[in-house]
Structure 1
Amino acid sequence: MNRCVRHAAAFCALLLLAVLANAVRVQLVQAGRLAANPADRRADIALYRQPRGNILVAGRPVTSSRATGGQLRYVRSYRDGPLYAPVTGFASQIYGASLLEGTEGALLDGSDPALDEQPLWPEITRARQRGGDVHTTIDPAAQQAAFTGLAGRRGAVAALDPATGRILALVSSPSYDPGRLAGAGPSVTATWKQLNADPAQPMLDRAIRQTYPPGSTFKVVTAAAALESGEVTDLRARTASPDPYTLPGTTVRLTNEGAGCRNASMFDAFRYSCNTVFAKLGADLGDQAVVAQAERFGFDDTRLRIPPAVAVSTVDRWMSPDQVALSSIGQFDTTATPLQMAMVAAAVGNGGRLMAPYLVDEVTSHGGTTVSRTRPRLLHQAVSARTAALLQELMEAVVTRGTGGNAAIPGVVVGGKTGTAQHGPANKGTPYAWFVSYAKPPGADRASVAVAVVVEDAAAVRADISGGGNAAPIARAVMRAVLAAPPPAP
């Protein structure tokens, strides 16, 4: 072989090596950066080239996929979009996905390996499995009752099955239609800007992503701490509670909305919601006892997923005595999501056992095979069975002989607690109306539904706003809907 041929062969070999090196650089070293480049639409094209799996409520899909005829072949659509938006979230070709559409996205779009019935076949063919279906725990009648009850007012409702932790209703108001965000045209961009600019924040899931001062509904927690610690042993024994009560270390005088709170027993103080009694009780217990009890009900839990993440409900860990007093009546820095307060009511109604809340019953493949199923799980033993029975006595008296009469259901044992939470500069904002409750079917010793309702913009004169007047009727409607429904299949 002459010198020119050798040089040409060596040069060709170098060129081949350069091509191989560049292929390695592009396909391995730079693969992540190139795939993340917004100009690369291959991932989007692959994501929307087949129908997405569905989200189901009581076995019926509340989502579907609509053919577009474009490069992104399928777009998401929703049945009763505003009703179920706090559950489904949205799946947008521009703005991504939220809530179940986001957390269960890999199952819905078919990219989750758990869906592979023949594990090696997708690797060989590069074909994506059809998306799976997500079966929720939502009771459609309860969801509709909560949505109708809020009637567009700012607020939220969360309802649970105390025995399992299944979430039966999750409503946030005002709501929005996630179908308006599903496509990729100018109307989607305009809708996104409009929704984000709306001061009512319709895309905020108030049931799990917004925290509020819980007001007097937090007295359930304070009463639990007092009973568990032995600070209170007799519900009907009079307490040494002045009215008004001067907060420790301050000159601030705490008063009550009504009369009869001076030295009232816990039984009377709870059903009439006496701030002075529970503020003094909290100060006597101290911050550690109140915080520890709150945490056993689920407060300060940063890991709670249903599977969408839930905002952390908080009780300040380090408080002065006056701050503990205010926290014990659900003010100061104490905040809670509606789901958290439903968990409190559920634990009381379930004999002290707090079950982990969950929103997904099971996931099935496109062919109907079960991929995963959620099993009920004990989150905490919030209180002893004895304390739970005493708390039930208190909460049931609120409905039969106290401020929560609007939640009563004939023939059903209902326990509840009203709350009116102050907020805003100098507490001048319109108070939040709260109600937490549980209901026992006739003859049952455990509750079958627990509900928390918060109404932000209660339509009433400020002095007349109350959990009993504004929120309790909504809770009653949700409990009725659950009690009227047939039990879920095992």
Structure 2
Amino acid sequence: MARPGSTRTVRRAAALCLLLLVALLANAARVQVLQADRLDDNPANRRTVLSRYAAPRGDILVDGRPVTGSKDTGQLLRHERTYTDGPLYAPVTGYASQTYGTTLVEDAEDAVLSGTSPSLSPLPLWSDISRGRPPGGHVATTIVGALQQAAFRGLSGRRGAVVALEPSSGRILALVSSPSYDPGVLSGTGSEVATAWARLNTAPSRPMLNRALRQTYPPGSTFKIVTAAAALDAGVVTDPDAPTGTPDPYVLPGTRTVLPNDATGCGDASLAYAIRWSCNTVMARLGVRVGLPGMLEAVRRFGFNDPGLRVPSRVAPSNFDTGMTPDRLALSAIGQYDTTATPLQMAMVAAAVANGGELAHPYLVDSTTTADGGLVGRTPRRTYARAMEPTTARVLRGLMVDVVEGGSGSNAAIEGAEVGGKTGTAQHGVGNLGTPYAWFIGWARATGAARPAVAVAVVVEDASARREDISGGGSAAPIARTVMETALASAARD
């Protein structure tokens, strides 16, 4: 029979063990639940990095086929990103680098591609409970491979960009920036990757700059479509064929500066003539007559001055100054002074005209799926804004068709299709002595089709060309025509 003292000792020892067990469980819970995120984010914790590359990354798809992949390196960071036609699709995919992180779609959809998105788990909170990770999912883009290739070939390595949209939906059909680069050279680690990074970032041609989304240019005369929409919507112009009373030469308000025209016959010209032959004087005066508040409201509806635009990658905001004197407003109304726009922005301008004045929100990701094809999410069609009244869009469509059929945009004409466009030659540099940028924006509708199939914007920097050879009609319009022809052929097959 045990003595009373020894029984008390056993009970105390058992209670102490129980207390220690409870404390151990509480600490485990604290570490695994309450401190899990902080420990995961600790730079000294290599498990997160090793886990990230332990399995293949999901793929980015074009036309339902992967343009990315993964290879097993056998190293600690086992799986490294690979790219099919890397330079062709780099402005879409961006890069996924074990050294330098992620950009563009690789970044915007990283959670799906890396398998960390909760939406990939079979049950809610399953990943948090299991501390496991499902296979990386796939991201299907809206890009049409044939259009992407046509735009890429059209630029032929010259500095510039091409963006093509489906006006009715906002789907981005082509997104090309040139010159480009192979994102695969940045995928891994080591001295070769560091050397490639340094070379790409110091190259004078800036191949890693996404000129389609992240570079803004003076839009030149292509911006006159925005000014024309503002003038028609405000009632400043009621008859596009009526004389506007604009003198030639036109002196900028409050100055002695004379605004020149490259075209002839611009004195007292109509809006229709001014768009057809790109009269600076007429469009500058119309911008002043609309006034700064009216112009600001108009440009906002088209997407200017919007720092929050995502497609889902970030887009650099296009600029129209919010405070200007009348003389600067006149220059801004013809796409000069401080007015700048991304190629995506100017494609949105063309798309709004083509779509009856309603601007659909542009987007680059059609859907995301699990590794075995189960739907995770789909991007819905959304309206960005009512850019102009339907009657205004109808008038502008006619004016843009006239530019192609009888004006400066004849190089964009497509037999058997209705094509509308606007050329632009944007001056820049100190004293406007830099090589001008060549612009073309437009849209195309197949004969008998209910609506245009594509809207496009092309900008060509081409610093190697002679200044006198640069023009929107000569340099940019042929590229746009090829892309639009390809889009019409693709739509006909569908």
Q: Same fold (TM over 0.5)?
A: yes
Distance apart, 1:201 and its partner CA: 1.3
Distance apart, 1:463 and its partner CA: 2.6
Partners in 1 of 2:22 and 2:61 — Cα distance? 54
Unaligned runs of 5+ in 1: none
**Secondary structure of 1:207 counterpart:** coil
**Which position in structure 1 is the counterpart of 2:329?**
324
Which letter maps to 2:248?
D
Deviations 1:155-180 (A, max 9, x none): 10100000100000000011110100
Partners in 2 of 1:72 and 1:82 — Cα distance? 25
Partners in 1 of 2:98 and 2:115 — Cα distance? 16
| Greater CA drift, 47-56 or 240-249 | 240-249
Unaligned runs of 5+ in 2: 1-5
| Aligned: 1:143 with 2:143 | no
Partners in 1 of 2:245 and 2:491 — Cα distance? 48
Partners in 2 of 1:23 and 1:126 — Cα distance? 14
Matches within 5 A, 1:363-442: 363-442=368-447
Matches within 5 A, 1:79-478: 79-119=84-124, 121-457=126-462, 459-478=464-483
TM-score, reference length from structure 2: 0.93
Deviations 1:129-173 (A, max 9, x none): 111110000011110011011111111010000010000000001
Partners in 2 of 1:367 and 1:488 — Cα distance? 28
Q: Which one of the candidate residues 60, 66, 72 is aligned to 1:67?
A: 72
Distance apart, 1:72 and its partner CA: 1.2
TM-score, reference length from structure 1: 0.94
Contact 2:167/2:359 (8 A) holds in 1: yes
Distance apart, 1:444 and its partner CA: 2.5
Deviations 1:237-270 (A, max 9, x none): 1121122211101111110112211111111111
Which letter maps to 2:111?
A
| Greater CA drift, 346-355 or 237-246 | 237-246
Partners in 2 of 1:161 and 1:57 — Cα distance? 16
**Secondary structure of 2:272 counterpart:** helix
Partners in 2 of 1:13 and 1:116 — Cα distance? 36
Distance apart, 1:100 and its partner CA: 0.4
**Secondary structure of 2:199 counterpart:** helix
Change (3 A) 1:24 1:205: same
| Coordinate RMSD, CA, aligned | 2.3
Contact 2:118/2:127 (8 A) holds in 1: no
Partners in 1 of 2:212 and 2:359 — Cα distance? 18
Change (3 A) 1:488 1:335: farther
Deviations 1:430-459 (A, max 9, x none): 111110000011113421100000111255
**Secondary structure of 2:439 counterpart:** strand
Contact 2:453/2:491 (8 A) holds in 1: no
Which letter maps to 2:284?
A
Deviations 1:267-312 (A, max 9, x none): 1111100101111111111111111111111112222111111111
Percent of residue pairs bearing the same amino acid type: 60
Deviations 1:64-104 (A, max 9, x none): 11111111111100000000000000000111100000010
Which letter maps to 1:273?
S
Which letter maps to 1:317?
T
Partners in 2 of 1:211 and 1:27 — Cα distance? 47
Deviations 1:213-250 (A, max 9, x none): 11100000000011111111111111211222111011
Which letter maps to 1:115?
L
**Which position in structure 1 is the counterpart of 2:61?**
56
Which letter maps to 1:156?
A
Q: Which one of the candidate residues 470, 481, 485 is aligned to 2:486?
A: 481
Change (3 A) 1:488 1:111: farther
Which letter maps to 2:199?
Q
Distance apart, 1:427 and its partner CA: 1.3
Distance apart, 1:26 and its partner CA: 6.0
